[in-house]
Structure 1
Amino acid sequence: MSWLLWSSSRNLTGSYPGGQKLFRCTFSKDEIDMDSPHSKWQTSGNVSWTMGVINTKNVENSKKEELKVYVKCHLEDRMESSVDENWRIDADHIVRLFNHNKSNKHVCTRGSTTFTKAKDSCVSSLINLSDITDDFFLNDELTFEVEIGVKNSEGLPKIVDLSVKRPDSNVVLTVGKEKFYVDKEILSKKSTIFEELLKKEGVGKGSNEYAIEDVNPTIFHVFIKTVSDIPVQFGLDEIEELLKMSEKFKINEVQEQCKEFLINSVVDDALALKIADKHGMQDVIVEKLKPLNSISDLRQAFRYYRKFSDESMRLLLKKLIEVA
């Protein structure tokens, strides 16, 4: 069930014990006209989510040219063998199509759906192309914001807790008083730092315990899940520590996931730019600059500019020239 609203303030409300996800994506007019694009997959509630757009002119027997927006959930291939055949997820969702000049004129579609193996997507109300004026386009692209709230799930595996010993765990990493049970082979393949550490004889009864120093145990748990290819959610407050760990243990894929989060999730632009500059992620700055189309937007986003690198300042000046 879904319906169409003209609003800027409609948000998900209620309890979502299965997790919430908020992300943003853009599609060019050509992409939508020629194809049926969808966003990058986002993990929440132990499954992945995407939203896509279909131009009905590309659908057989269609009489009108309208935009059809859908939200879809997906189980990772490695999860298929561990889920119940009749799994289900009850979730609310909101998709907002941004009006870049009139924030009270966003197009907002909201739905509440039960997703199953047989019904893994939910289609929104149709959006008439005649309603999509130039105010919705920025650099010939439409911007969508997606909010997912998982109310309940059945038949899915429980969220993995690496502080609990598992059958495939053969190494123990200790951070202060915390212990994390992991797979030695996976860590050694992902990081030369872990590979060298785990070649040495550890301590403990099985000589398989290794101390990890100078890391936050809570965020290290998130980090080690990411390295172990376990679906995990993290927020802006954890990004800095995750990036430091990525550099410490020389694991690029964690940095890449942090980049994707900063680019695609709806976060404070100023903090995202500050973090990206600090860690030399110029590609993040380029992407975050794209939707900023006024001097006031840039001033707010670059409120920490006094500490920015020369390269980041060059990107800012280039954008200032474009919008001036």
Structure 2
Amino acid sequence: MIQSLTPRIEINLAKIAHNANVLLQLYDKKGIGIMGVTKAVCGDPAVAKVFVEAGIHTLADSKISNIKKMQDAKVEAEYVLLKISSIQEVKDVTRYANVSIQSEWVVIEKLSQSAKRANQRHKIILMIEMGDGREGILPKDIHEMVQKILGLSGVQLVGIAANFACFGGVKPSNEKLSVLSLLASELESTYSLCFDYISGGNSANYQWFTKVEDPGNINNVRLGESILLGVETLEQKTIPALYTNAFTFVSEVVEAKEKPSLPDGEIGRDAFGNIPSFKDKGMMNRVILGVGHQDILIRGLTPLMDVEILGASSDHMVIDAKTSGLRVGDEVDFSCTYGALLAAMTSPYVTKKYVCH
């Protein structure tokens, strides 16, 4: 049997479908819908189709090129641009995204102009700064922004959102989500609006969700990591009934020799400017895999056999093979963190292999 090329990422579509179905049913119990985030898989159409077939009909991505890729593959969904737009990409935003998350007036004004030229009406979700320190309008400024948006004919305000545990690591607390919920009520009442999206956060919201009895007006979460990797992001704990092994990273042994565990010579900086340090373990079964920092986030990999990652250069990973008996041509499997998954799916050097069972 001919093996697939390495390095590769094996993608179990059936397990992703299972996770999506479980989470849809779970969040629906409290009236919360799911926006499926595809950015970690770079808008992979095969994964996007699994989301849609499971019942997630709104897909969100941070790259216009990923949204275009999914549309070209005939994945039918409402597409949300998850990253705030630059002025230079406004035309493509109105062309390819049905909805975009925004926080700057000058960009929203340009979006309105672009949409009007195309005889469209672009939908906007305003991001509210709730303490994580990334994008968003301060709550005190929201009324002024909403009033200005309502004066534009090329855009439609369809919701507000908050972001947590991305830049500042701030947890989505019940207090903060209550503020967002009340703010939505205030805006809807003041300006006779009915928001489609009151989006309370992302995969970091799982703990909040399980503890809160009444989520208020929060009716949406944006989930990527929970669906793909089966975990919540705050503590990386497995969500009950979900698969955590829908993705497996695989690399091949290209050298296997018994070598000293310590380098021989004066130590300077390595290829990435670091001064490495090593433990003296005597002679070891020292194995090299044909993968490096250019291909994958090394620190985001965990071997699925009893070996230890010692480090990596651009193109090679060095491991202590211990008593595994690894030989040239053997393959080593790894589980992935979100960062490693993102790197593997982005890398043109990593083969993608789909598994449907």
What TM-score, normalized to structure 2? 0.26
Which gives a bigger RCO, structure 1 or 2 (Cα 8 Å, sep 6+)? 2
In our comparison, the structure showing a higher alpha carbon Rg is 2
